[in-house]
A and B are shown apart, each in its own frame.
Chain A
Amino acid sequence: MKVALETNQLIALAMKQIEPHVVAAYPITPSTEVVQEFSQYVANGDVKTEFVPVESEHSAMSACLAASLSGARVMTATASQGLAFMWEMLHIAAASRAPIVTIVANRALSAPINIHGDHADAMGARDTGWLQLWAETAQEAYDNTIQAIKIAEDPRVRFPMLVNYDGFTTSHAVETVEILEDEQVRSFLGAAPKPKYSLLDTENPASFGVLALQDYYMEFRRAQAEAYKNVKDVVLEVAEDYAKLTGRKYGILEEYRLDDADVVLVAMNSAAGTAKETVDYLRKQGKKVGVLKIRLFRPFPVEEIRCALGNAKSVVVMDRAYTYGGPSGPLFEEIATALVNETNKPLLGNVIAGLGGRDITMEDIEHVFDLGFKALEKGNFEPLVSWVGVRE
């Protein structure tokens, strides 16, 4: 069935179809409509979800955590300062293996205050232990939302997951999308798998939120680090099952005209769409360019990235966030780390673009590819990091 909806409304509809046991949320631009529309479904009796209207995002994540640890299927939505305010609970949710799914309409962080698209919020959460899916379009945001539940809750995974899409550019854009029937979503997901130990299981009591000092903390962390190794296989399995249901197939990355590309742009979320258009335009002029779009950012798909960039001569990584005081944008750091010990690795450069909702235009992307070609001529990217679309 086809519908034309704003992405936020579409995600609220996906949540209605998923019908989580618990949603605890606090509205924040540009994800507000997700919570607003979903609370209407609850008020109208369309879903039996326990909706907890808390007084802050910190409390939202705390309530989600407790509900998840008792075995419930749990979702919430937030952005920007809201995700930042959840920060300490994000770590606890991941380490506690609470498979909460959080929708994030990516938005810039203050100051100065700004409500528009930017990846600083999710990049700030990259070391919290949450899994992360990223979406270029409304359709991908919808499909990722449903798949995220199944990935997060899989007994081989049991980690919480962020589902990202760009604030305003995507969140407030109306697109025609293909949706599933409610019944298809419910049978695809099945019942939430029961955790081995849960807060409400009085027959098998366990201590939650335990203290581990010098004698045990490192073992807990080592065990957590190991558990991410299962995630990629489950992401691909779920994608395969989802493709059987919908015909829409997803991978860990999306490779666009990479096979013979000399210069490759790496991008995430909506800018990847503009980049693909630009690639088509430049290809007509005979330029060998391509786009690598990251769908699964956490755990970071090191081997897949090595493989996808193996034939490129020059790679420009576009970050819609910056690591202040650091060497580059966050995505660049990770891609550079993935390639550091490869022989015959491409030249690597970084551009910072689109902060605080600044448009990333086809002209910008063309300029970025130019930087990649110039680096090939000069033998290196100088400077390593360029800001694109900023008044100089």
Chain B
Amino acid sequence: MNEQKWNELPEGVIVPEGGNSQDVYIVEGWRTFKPVVNLEKCTHCMTCWVMCPDNAVNVKGGKMLGFDYLACKGCGVCAEVCPVKVIEMVKEER
């Protein structure tokens, strides 16, 4: 991590880019359950992508690809909101 000095910071309490915490704050250890999607039945409606509070749904070209498990805390919102119920919360084995 690049540790800036106080006089190298931008003005105010901002970070001049978006989505910058993803590589820094790894939260996979927080999970008790992890979401698993059945992509064969997924309709790619993007509801899980919109609702995920941690930006942990991988999406490309309008297609749901799966989850970013480094960023997912296992909250289960995606499984709850999935209109076709193809996301299952599976107990983590550690």
Contact = CB atoms under 8 A, between A and B. Distances in A.
A210 B20 CA distance: 10
Contacts of A209: 13
A206 B9 contact: no
B5 A220 contact: no
A252 B93 CA distance: 67
A218 B3 CA distance: 12
Contacts of A218: 6
B11 A219 contact: no
Contacts of A196: 10-11
A226 B6 contact: yes
A227 B11 CA distance: 9
A202 to B, nearest CB: 10
A205 B12 contact: no
Contacts of B20: 207
Interface string A89-101: 0000001111000
Contacts of A303: none
Interface string A204-246: 1111111110011011101100110000000000000000000
A340 B86 CA distance: 71
A158 interface: yes
B81 to A, nearest CB: 25
Interface majority SS (helix, strand, loop, mixed), chain B = loop
Interface string B1-30: 101111101111111111011000000000
Contacts of A51: none
A161 B13 CA distance: 18
A256 interface: no
A226 B6 CA distance: 10
A219 B12 contact: no
A197 interface: yes
Q: Size band of the B side of the interface?
A: 10 to 19
Given A207-B20, A215-B3, A197 B14 contact: yes
A205 B18 contact: yes
B18 A220 contact: no
A96 B12 CA distance: 4
Given A206-B18, A219-B4, A158 B9 contact: no
A196 B11 CA distance: 9
A223 B14 CA distance: 13
B13 A219 contact: no
B9 A207 contact: no
Contacts of B11: 97, 158, 196, 223, 227
B16 A197 contact: yes
Nearest to B20: A207
Contacts of B1: 215
A210 B15 contact: yes
B7 A226 contact: yes
A197 B13 contact: no
Contact of A207 (B4, B5, B7, B14): B14
A213 to B, nearest CB: 10
B9 to A, nearest CB: 5
Nearest to B5: A219
Nearest to B14: A206
A212 B14 contact: no
Contacts of B14: 96, 197, 206-208, 210
Given A207-B18, A207-B20, A223 B3 contact: no
Nearest to B19: A207
Nearest to B18: A205
Contacts of B7: 223, 226
A96 B13 contact: yes
A27 B55 CA distance: 40
B10 A197 contact: yes
A223 B6 contact: yes
Nearest to B9: A223
Contacts of A95: 12-13
Contacts of A222: 6
A95 B11 CA distance: 9
Interface in B24-49: none
Contacts of B13: 95-96, 208-210, 212, 220
Given A219-B5, A227-B11, 4 more contacts: A205-B17, A206-B15, A206-B17, A207-B21
6 contacts: A158-B11, A207-B16, A211-B21, A219-B6, A220-B13, A226-B6
Interface of A: 95-98, 158, 196-197, 204-212, 215-216, 218-220, 222-223, 226-227
